[in-house]
Chains A and B, each alone.
Chain A
């Protein structure tokens, strides 16, 4: 008899959510985390705007100290030549505060966002479902598939047609058809490709945008946010109360597999732990190549894992400032604002050109927030494209990126006194957290890596071809972002399988 019902490997937010749901269902859970702190990749983000409301409600996280911050923050699309475009948020509704774009452009911009919101909402209904198996022959799966189709068809003839038209389209074509203002075009394009290995002219970038919105229940920008440290703390409190054992600073060496079944977890110090189900919160490549060991996998499976696109493209920068920075031509509140620097589609496409050849963008796009903590100012920025690369990098690569980024920042900051820059490239993120490729979402959101194809054929539905091995990380459906849905879905599936 094993001491635990389930062992979860990896203490990222999805692992915590999965543990919470399982313990809520009276399962004895052990959570193993290699670092000294929980949270995994969430440490690279100060806030999450997309954490699932359903999970918060189900787990009653607010009573464990979760603090949802409601603020109507501004989104500023920086403009070097003219005035910045400032978008305000009023209860998930976007309006223009100031812009250089003419009225017609403003209208079509909002119309475009409304369209994506509508489509994203119809997609978002699948987010809490275990994706169906197409050829299982089960009525349940067939019903789900029909439901998926119906959810889109329900949009009406005109909208379904429009959905089918844009779903495979690239974002550049789509915005160029609708907008004139470069800043607005750049803004949408940037949001469409952020966190992916797509350029504005890559097919599927519209789907990437809609899918990201679908995970955040339809909104591109939301007016609620949660501090990630607060989120992890509240989940930790919950797990402690449910008596989930948490092993910090413990590394799993591998899983032992006999007769296609996980029999035990072997820790770095050769200690063995048994459980009925083993749940991996790691990304698919790490799960199968590091934990399972490819020796126990069929060659076709190895190929699918190998070909899973999981190359990170975004570097994370934390800049410590000497004093309060001043942004050129910007009078508003700098603290409660997201700044996006992507002045045009071509700017982004040029940035992407470098990435195609595994080089870092000379002129990367930047999305940043200015944070004030204990009277000190920080900038948290995401830099795209800084591709993950297996090739040997140049020695002073990081210095070069920092130089490029500071040059870029000086373009739109009047005053910025940098004390210290902490840069984390995708390679650094892989080294730190272990996520292969340092990819935000544990894998690209593209049509062949979504829904019942995520992460890959034979491993969907949170389980794998290896008995008793489950996955709850962002590599599963629906995917990345700090939303906890993967953990919820995986737990649901595991509990179902128990019955």
Chain B
């Protein structure tokens, strides 16, 4: 018997579910925001390769989508996020973080500007209560529109080419962090040039009723170009290469953290480039100004690790074996042919080029091999292809 109690209900299915479940050979599911989406279709590495060499299709419908409409929408966004959106234009998107009063990151996401009175916020975690409390005093209306929109990420060097073949007019001239409406397979959909792969890529936003047509269209040239559906595991690989942060992996959202000292500020995440401290007011400004003057205690950096064994969850040490940090995400990068990781190091080691050591426990058939690997502190953006920002896009 299926109860009406939310936690007893089965996970929701996205509008693409009938398509993705057909393709999901491994039957491996991932739980995100009350939905189930595919973790791995056939093989993670294969899906990763598609995203890096042709194109991959990811179902990102569970991403929380909030519509912010009203007279004060722009003012509200400017109070909420650390960036300044005073000069944002229609059809533009910004990547942003929002903090609490202590400057700790609540979440990150992309903010779509339709016009000055109509915005959309897309983020990985639930934020409605935070937004609604922040919105007190503003003449706006916030609505959770997650289930009204189906979303696909279409990432990879051939993504533009395939969209062009699908007769999306002028798609190659869509600049990074802009969106517009296009017609593909007779369906009018919104396409934004955003993504989580650090390469050329698009995100397609459609009505749930259009979901099947849009999904099928993306695979219609598979005779020539091998487009693959990709699961969350492969997304994790590309996002580490691109140096993108992930809530609950690289930082604990401030609203969820149980221990106050586990939250992180944008400066600690190495995101000071999207913190505009000249802005008149935003939540967390006072605390961030203070932290800027005192400096951070630790910081999220990229690590280039010797050897080929990924440093999952490794603890970082300095030369005298004092622990100075932790790895939050690690992998062997097939594209870069390098052993990379992102992690926190304390303030003495956050300069690019610093040397630290990782203690890697590599599982080898019921036994662990302990590896003491030297790491070099590098920029987080390991994979940074000029294709990402080139306009017109690579066709």
Q: What residues of chain A have their CB less than 8 Å away from a CB belonging to chain B?
A: 258-260, 289, 293-303, 306, 465
Q: Say if the beta carbon of B133 comes within 8 Å of chain A.
A: yes
Q: Say if the beta carbon of B3 comes within 8 Å of chain A.
A: no
For B286, list chain A residues within 8 Å (CB): 260, 298, 465
Of B110-118, B261-269, B277-285, the stretch lying at the interface with chain A is: B277-285
The answer to whether A289 and B137 have CB atoms under 8 Å apart is yes
For A465, list chain B residues within 8 Å (CB): 286
The answer to whether B134 and A260 have CB atoms under 8 Å apart is no
The answer to whether A295 and B100 have CB atoms under 8 Å apart is no
Given A301-B101, A302-B134, A302-B136, A295-B79 contact (CB < 8 Å): yes
Closest to B282 in A: A298
The answer to whether A298 and B75 have CB atoms under 8 Å apart is no
- What are 30 sample pairs from A and B whose C-beta atoms fall under 8 A apart? A258-B280, A259-B280, A260-B281, A289-B136, A289-B137, A293-B137, A294-B136, A294-B137, A294-B138, A295-B72, A295-B75, A295-B79, A295-B137, A295-B138, A296-B281, A298-B286, A299-B100, A299-B130, A299-B133, A299-B134, A299-B283, A300-B101, A300-B102, A300-B283, A301-B101, A302-B134, A302-B136, A302-B137, A303-B133, A306-B133
CB-CB contacts below 8 Å: B65-108 with A: 72, 75, 79, 100-102
Closest to A307 in B: B133
For A302, list chain B residues within 8 Å (CB): 133-134, 136-137
For B79, list chain A residues within 8 Å (CB): 295
Complex interface bits, B241-283 against A, C-beta within 8 A gives 1, otherwise 0: 0000000000000000000000000000000000000001101
Query: What's the minimum C-beta distance from A342 to chain B, rounded to whole angstroms?
Result: 38
The answer to whether B137 and A299 have CB atoms under 8 Å apart is no
Closest to B79 in A: A295
Further contacts, 15 of them, CB under 8 A, given A259-B280, A294-B138, A306-B136: A289-B136, A294-B136, A294-B137, A295-B75, A295-B137, A296-B281, A299-B100, A299-B101, A299-B133, A299-B134, A301-B101, A302-B134, A302-B136, A306-B133, A465-B286
Query: What's the minimum C-beta distance from A297 to chain B, rounded to whole angstroms?
Result: 8
For A294, list chain B residues within 8 Å (CB): 136-138
Question: Which 10 pairs from chain A and chain B are nearest by CB?
Answer: A294-B137, A298-B101, A300-B101, A299-B134, A294-B136, A295-B137, A298-B283, A299-B283, A299-B133, A302-B136
Given A258-B280, A260-B286, A295-B75, A300-B136 contact (CB < 8 Å): no
For B134, list chain A residues within 8 Å (CB): 299, 302
Once the chains are docked, how many angstroms separate the CA of A294 from the CA of B133? Answer: 10
For B133, list chain A residues within 8 Å (CB): 299, 302-303, 306
Query: What's the minimum C-beta distance from A104 to chain B, rounded to whole angstroms?
Result: 53
Which of A294, A295, A296, A299 has the most B CB atoms < 10 Å from its CB? Answer: A299
Q: Which secondary structure dominates where chain B touches chain A?
A: loop
Closest to B130 in A: A299
Closest to A294 in B: B137
Query: What's the minimum C-beta distance from B265 to chain A, rounded to whole angstroms?
Result: 14
Once the chains are docked, how many angstroms separate the CA of A240 from the CA of B314? Answer: 73
Once the chains are docked, how many angstroms separate the CA of A282 from the CA of B255? Answer: 31
Once the chains are docked, how many angstroms separate the CA of A303 from the CA of B106? Answer: 15
Query: What's the minimum C-beta distance from A339 to chain B, rounded to whole angstroms?
Result: 43
Once the chains are docked, how many angstroms separate the CA of A302 from the CA of B134? Answer: 7
For A289, list chain B residues within 8 Å (CB): 136-137
The answer to whether B138 and A298 have CB atoms under 8 Å apart is no
Query: What's the minimum C-beta distance from A227 to chain B, rounded to whole angstroms?
Result: 40
Closest to B286 in A: A260
Closest to B137 in A: A294
For B138, list chain A residues within 8 Å (CB): 294-295
Once the chains are docked, how many angstroms separate the CA of A259 from the CA of B72? Answer: 20
Query: What's the minimum C-beta distance from A207 to chain B, rounded to whole angstroms?
Result: 28
For B284, list chain A residues within 8 Å (CB): 298
Once the chains are docked, how many angstroms separate the CA of A306 from the CA of B137? Answer: 12
Once the chains are docked, how many angstroms separate the CA of A258 from the CA of B285? Answer: 13
For A303, list chain B residues within 8 Å (CB): 133
Query: What's the minimum C-beta distance from B168 to chain A, rounded to whole angstroms?
Result: 39
Closest to B138 in A: A295
Query: What's the minimum C-beta distance from A185 to chain B, rounded to whole angstroms?
Result: 42
Query: What's the minimum C-beta distance from A166 to chain B, rounded to whole angstroms?
Result: 33
Which of B134, B136, B284 has the most A CB atoms < 10 Å from its CB? Answer: B136
For B283, list chain A residues within 8 Å (CB): 298-300
For A300, list chain B residues within 8 Å (CB): 100-102, 283
Closest to B76 in A: A295
Once the chains are docked, how many angstroms separate the CA of A259 from the CA of B283? Answer: 13
Once the chains are docked, how many angstroms separate the CA of A297 from the CA of B138? Answer: 12
Once the chains are docked, how many angstroms separate the CA of A306 from the CA of B134? Answer: 11
Complex interface bits, B278-304 against A, C-beta within 8 A gives 1, otherwise 0: 001101101000000000000000000
Closest to A300 in B: B101
Once the chains are docked, how many angstroms separate the CA of A296 from the CA of B138? Answer: 10
Query: What's the minimum C-beta distance from A133 to chain B, rounded to whole angstroms?
Result: 17
Once the chains are docked, how many angstroms separate the CA of A214 from the CA of B251? Answer: 47
Closest to A297 in B: B137
Given A259-B280, A260-B281, A298-B100 contact (CB < 8 Å): yes
Complex interface bits, B132-166 against A, C-beta within 8 A gives 1, otherwise 0: 01101110000000000000000000000000000
Once the chains are docked, how many angstroms separate the CA of A487 from the CA of B76? Answer: 35
Once the chains are docked, how many angstroms separate the CA of A260 from the CA of B284? Answer: 12
Query: What's the minimum C-beta distance from B302 to chain A, rounded to whole angstroms?
Result: 32
For A259, list chain B residues within 8 Å (CB): 280
Closest to A303 in B: B133
Once the chains are docked, how many angstroms separate the CA of A301 from the CA of B133? Answer: 10
Query: What's the minimum C-beta distance from A8 to chain B, rounded to whole angstroms?
Result: 24
Once the chains are docked, how many angstroms separate the CA of A299 from the CA of B137? Answer: 11
Once the chains are docked, how many angstroms separate the CA of A302 from the CA of B100? Answer: 11
CB-CB contacts below 8 Å: B26-75 with A: 72, 75
Closest to B134 in A: A299
For A299, list chain B residues within 8 Å (CB): 100-101, 130, 133-134, 283
Closest to B287 in A: A298
Query: What's the minimum C-beta distance from B315 to chain A, rounded to whole angstroms?
Result: 31
For B102, list chain A residues within 8 Å (CB): 300
Query: What's the minimum C-beta distance from A493 to chain B, rounded to whole angstroms?
Result: 21
CB-CB contacts below 8 Å: B351-368 with A: none
Closest to A299 in B: B134
For A298, list chain B residues within 8 Å (CB): 100-101, 283-284, 286
For A297, list chain B residues within 8 Å (CB): 137
Query: What's the minimum C-beta distance from A14 to chain B, rounded to whole angstroms?
Result: 26
For B281, list chain A residues within 8 Å (CB): 260, 296
Once the chains are docked, how many angstroms separate the CA of A297 from the CA of B75? Answer: 13
Which of A293, A294, A301, A465 has the most B CB atoms < 10 Å from its CB? Answer: A294
Once the chains are docked, how many angstroms separate the CA of A425 from the CA of B102? Answer: 40
Query: What's the minimum C-beta distance from B256 to chain A, rounded to whole angstroms?
Result: 15
Closest to B80 in A: A299
For A296, list chain B residues within 8 Å (CB): 281
Query: What's the minimum C-beta distance from A258 to chain B, rounded to whole angstroms?
Result: 7
Once the chains are docked, how many angstroms separate the CA of A259 from the CA of B281? Answer: 7
Once the chains are docked, how many angstroms separate the CA of A271 from the CA of B140? Answer: 28
Once the chains are docked, how many angstroms separate the CA of A16 from the CA of B102? Answer: 36
Query: What's the minimum C-beta distance from A405 to chain B, rounded to whole angstroms?
Result: 36
Query: What's the minimum C-beta distance from B99 to chain A, rounded to whole angstroms?
Result: 9
Query: What's the minimum C-beta distance from B220 to chain A, rounded to whole angstroms?
Result: 46
Query: What's the minimum C-beta distance from A248 to chain B, rounded to whole angstroms?
Result: 29
Query: What's the minimum C-beta distance from B125 to chain A, rounded to whole angstroms?
Result: 15
Query: What's the minimum C-beta distance from A128 to chain B, rounded to whole angstroms?
Result: 31
For B280, list chain A residues within 8 Å (CB): 258-259
Query: What's the minimum C-beta distance from B18 to chain A, rounded to whole angstroms?
Result: 40
Once the chains are docked, how many angstroms separate the CA of A369 from the CA of B268? Answer: 64
Once the chains are docked, how many angstroms separate the CA of A259 from the CA of B286? Answer: 10
Query: What's the minimum C-beta distance from A294 to chain B, rounded to whole angstroms?
Result: 3
Once the chains are docked, how many angstroms separate the CA of A380 from the CA of B150? Answer: 64
Query: What's the minimum C-beta distance from B263 to chain A, rounded to whole angstroms?
Result: 12
Query: What's the minimum C-beta distance from B367 to chain A, rounded to whole angstroms?
Result: 48
